[in-house]
Structure 1
């Protein structure tokens, strides 16, 4: 009896009444699970819509050019987000410069070069586990490693220390995304390159990597989106909650104190005055716009390289 033989299926079901009852129970359970899944989806979307409406209602009227170009202040009407916004952008650029080559390089090595042995499998398991570790654990690691041990290089609680900590946070995600993107490239392309006399590195650099690049870029930008919204790890390493200056956009600026939008939002939300809560809502809108721009960039780059691939 096969699914392509309806007559045999009907004869079998008529000869076995218990089979029909069991099949009916399974269909009923399937409907229940489908309803539960739709309910959970709509509930999550409804909560998200309510949150967005609340944030835009509270902060949209506060959002103006003066708010973006002013420094934080104890006076809520004069406070702005210039220093945390620049700090977030500074962090984002530094994290990208550190995490992208390390993550992509590690992913290429593990997927294309590393042999299948117990050490590789051990590394694979730990990378998957590290992707789910809470961010505050990375903050504690960054506090000890980058703030205390590497003080002569990072100058303690600086932009560089924060960027290195966030890079550790997203490295497992970039490595996993890189490996998954490389697996989508057919092995026939690799074999064709070897047949033409190319070396392994030439095949990867010229054939495999360009085809996997859309997936790698998408995974990297989504990982950076997670990094830019992190608060716990930055608080742990000692990011400041009030800075009335902008870090220099230079190598020297990497060693300067910093703050970021999530830190500033956390600071304003913790204050009792409603005016600061309004400022926090406006800062949340700016942070969401920054995240949307990053996600849009990921989509545009993916589509561009997919067209080039086609």
Structure 2
């Protein structure tokens, strides 16, 4: 039996990711129109402040580097449309920030103000949350100032079919179908997804499909599928997936070396335990 060390956070499962088509104004163009240039001195960060606020009246805030904001390839967007429609209220109407390839915490909704500053945002969510730490750091010893705020994310993949605990029945050829998604931060493309049908003893290469994305602009997930025979006669099997991106970043096999008290940046191999029904 595997012991799971608890964290303070939400269990999103495999669902904290989605794809959409966004439209709006490039942040770079807005900053240029406001008189800023790529050589603007002391402009090291761009702050985003939302119109939403907590019970103390503190508004949500975050920031990215000025360099990322001004980089043409980063394609940072002040979005007012989603999937060809006006931005829905739940997604930040009337305006939100889309920072492709970067953690969602910087994609501020209900945008009320953009500020160029020599300093990083002082908001709680930039300074005291969404940071990764050594596995031995706990809430009594953590120093949030010692770690940088999370920006681009590591390579990740997940199994969406079959579901954990599901009964799987091989087809007439003895094959099962496994599906999922893979993604990596900062526009890095997924070049391979490996899938094991016997708990990691042997591996298959999944088929990748979906829209072709430009080099350095792989903002959307890559869908994958595998149809293969089970290499074991066991009645219960563990299916595993792991992804490789265009920089040959790979996922770690277990969570133990990357565990942290908030549970963020967990990109260990995804495992789904299923039962097998054979006629």
Same fold (TM over 0.5): no
More helix by share: 1
Q: TM-score, normalised to structure 2's length? A: 0.23
The answer to which structure, 1 or 2, has the higher relative contact order (CA under 8 A, 6+ apart) is 1
Q: TM-score, normalised to structure 1's length? A: 0.21
More strand by share: 2
Larger Rg: 1
